[in-house]
Amino acid sequence: MVSLKLRGLGASYGRTTVLSKVAVELLAPGTTTAIIGPNAAGKSTLFKRIAGLISGPGTVVLSDATRGERSICYMPQDTGANAVLTVYESLLLSAKQGGGWRVKDEELFEIDSILKALRIENLAFRGLDALSGGQRQLVSLGQALVRRPEVLLMDEPTSALDLHRQIDVLEFVADLASRSGMIVLIALHDLNHALRYCANTIVIANGEMASSGPTTEVITPSMLRDIYHIDARIEACSRGRPMVIVDGAL
Ligand SMILES: Nc1ncnc2c1ncn2[C@@H]1O[C@H](COP(=O)(O)OP(=O)(O)OP(=O)(O)O)[C@@H](O)[C@H]1O
């Protein structure tokens, strides 16, 4: 199964370096890892660098991926709407990306099952330009999943979703990862999602990796103070899961 190592990754826009020295020894198959950090820290840039959309120092070591770099799928934060396609057509187009044009039964079956899993089958023949922000985000996730990525980079995938849909989507993706061996990295601002769905967390601050490791060891009151400049506690919810309680800004 696929595994991923990041060695000294960096990136610049023009002459401005916005990311440097990001190193992770091993992202194991089936794991879901949170990428957290303040605005403009470099999270999206890290994803673009891993996906090969921008170049820079360091190496992305991808082992045992069946389709090489095409095994990596980046789901961006903002997804434009293509007015001429329906939801179904956009998923089909995404499934065929980089492959031949003959449509196989199993691909149609896969599209149906993803539309159902994301509870958007009622939108199948709706135009992309006639969707709400949350619906667009779900379609964008569907477009990523039909490509059967072995490494999925999700940039704030639940920012436009209601609370129930947030839980649905993150549970579905974490479960899919552990069943299929897919490696998932999710950029998140909601640290409670990181605590609940991501075994490991990487903190990016000022373009560098501030810390990484098991989520419950990384998300601590002292990290929240140092990186986010907030006064916060970690307490258990009624179901016993750790949660960040924010008392206020420092
Ligand atoms: N295309 C670009 N050209 C120049 N600078 C850019 C470009 N894209 C991003 N940047 C800059 O790079 C830095 C990192 O941006 P990035 O989008 O990676 O941050 P982020 O951690 O994903 O932020 P956010 O949480 O706000 O989405 C920021 O200072 C941003 O202004």
The CATH number of the domain where 13 resides is what? 3.40.50.300
Does a structural domain hold residue 114? yes
- Residue 4: per-residue pLDDT: 94
pLDDT in tens, 199-210: 999 999 999 999
For residues 67 and 155, state if they share a domain.
yes
Least confident of 14-23, 82-91, 147-156, 229-238: 82-91
For the cut 70, the answer to whether the pLDDT of residue 83 exceeds it is: no
- Total domains in the fold of the chain: 2
For residues 50 and 168, state if they share a domain.
yes
Does a structural domain hold residue 247? no
For residues 43 and 162, state if they share a domain.
yes
For residues 157 and 95, state if they share a domain.
no
**Closest residue to atom 29 of ligand 1, CA basis:** 40
Cα–Cα distance for residue pair 192/128, rounded to 1 Å: 31
For residues 27 and 3, state if they share a domain.
yes
For residues 63 and 154, state if they share a domain.
yes
- The mean per-residue pLDDT over the stretch 67-81 comes to 81
For residues 58 and 159, state if they share a domain.
yes
**Closest residue to atom 27 of ligand 1, CA basis:** 39
Q: Would you state the structure tokens that stand for residue 233, as one six-digit string?
A: 């506690």
For residues 174 and 113, state if they share a domain.
no
Does a structural domain hold residue 248? no
Residue 82 pLDDT grade (very low, low, confident, very high; cuts 50, 70, 90): low
pLDDT in tens, 180-195: 999 999 999 999 999 9
For the cut 80, the answer to whether the pLDDT of residue 67 exceeds it is: no
Name beta bridge partners: 62.
4
**Closest residue to atom 28 of ligand 1, CA basis:** 40
Determine the structural domain holding residue 47 and report its residue range: 1-71+149-214
Looking at per-residue confidence, does 239 or 83 come out higher? 239
Does a structural domain hold residue 229? no
Residue 65 pLDDT grade (very low, low, confident, very high; cuts 50, 70, 90): confident
Residue 173 pLDDT grade (very low, low, confident, very high; cuts 50, 70, 90): very high
Ligand 1 centroid to residue 76 C-alpha, Å: 12
For residues 208 and 191, state if they share a domain.
yes
Does a structural domain hold residue 243? no
**Closest residue to atom 19 of ligand 1, CA basis:** 40
Question: For a pocket test of ligand 1, which of 19, 44, 189 has the largest count of ligand atoms closer than 8 A to its C-beta?
Answer: 44
Does a structural domain hold residue 33? yes
For residues 45 and 86, state if they share a domain.
no
pTM here? 0.94
Cα–Cα distance for residue pair 134/1, rounded to 1 Å: 32
Q: Which single residue is written with the structure tokens 């992202």? A: 27
- Residue 2: per-residue pLDDT: 87
Ligand 1 centroid to residue 207 C-alpha, Å: 9
- ipTM rounded to 2 decimals: 0.99
- The mean per-residue pLDDT over the stretch 59-80 comes to 84
- Residue 81: per-residue pLDDT: 66
List strands edge to edge, sheet with 59-63. Answer: 16-27, 3-13, 59-63
For the cut 70, the answer to whether the pLDDT of residue 72 exceeds it is: yes
For residues 187 and 67, state if they share a domain.
yes
DSSP 132-183: -HHHHHHHHHHHHHTT--SEEEEESTTTTS-HHHHHHHHHHHHHHHHHH--E
Any residues with Cβ below 6 Å from ligand 1, and which? 13, 18, 37, 39-45
Considering 120, 147, 174, which residue would you say is the last residue of a domain?
147
For residues 160 and 107, state if they share a domain.
no
